Copies of this chain bind each other. A is one copy, B any other.
Amino acid sequence: MTSNISIIGKRLKEARVHAGLSQERLGILAGIDEFSASARMNQYERGKHEPGMEIMKRIAEKLHRPISYFYEVDDDLAHLIEIYGGLDQQRKEKLLAIAVELHGNQSE
């Protein structure tokens, strides 16, 4: 069992397992034809093929993560993105405001 080669595969697996879905089921939920869902999702997860953005958007929805999560290579940033996606609107705004402020007083 070799380690994951692609970032998309790594993120996909983490989020799918967390959601308690099989590769095939997730693919079907995302609108992939039932006869190819298993193969396609496996190819994405193993890094054999890269999904297009349209299907990736639908997968992200079903896994309750922002789409950018699946493309981020930095684990800390991926984590930040994941958390942001789970916040309510008020806290999203607050977090963004804090980020802007942190950025501001870095420049001077």
Q: Are B68 and A96 in contact (CB under 8 A)?
A: no
How many chain A residues sit at the interface, stated as a range, is 35 or more
Q: Are A96 and B79 in contact (CB under 8 A)?
A: yes
User: Does residue A108 face the partner (Cβ distance < 8 Å to B)?
Assistant: no
Q: Which of B67, B79, B80, B100 contacts A71 (CB 8 A)?
A: B67
Chain B residues with CB under 8 Å of A52's CB are 50
User: Does residue A1 face the partner (Cβ distance < 8 Å to B)?
Assistant: no
Min distance, Cβ A49 to any Cβ of chain B, angstroms = 10
Interface-facing stretch out of A12-20, A21-29, A33-41, A84-92 = A84-92
Chain B residues with CB under 8 Å of A95's CB are 80, 95, 98-99, 102
When C-beta atoms are compared, the residue in chain B nearest to A88 turns out to be: B106
Q: Are B96 and A76 in contact (CB under 8 A)?
A: yes
Bound state CA distance, A71 and B66, in angstroms?
Answer: 9
Min distance, Cβ A4 to any Cβ of chain B, angstroms = 14
Min distance, Cβ A31 to any Cβ of chain B, angstroms = 17
Q: Are B74 and A103 in contact (CB under 8 A)?
A: no
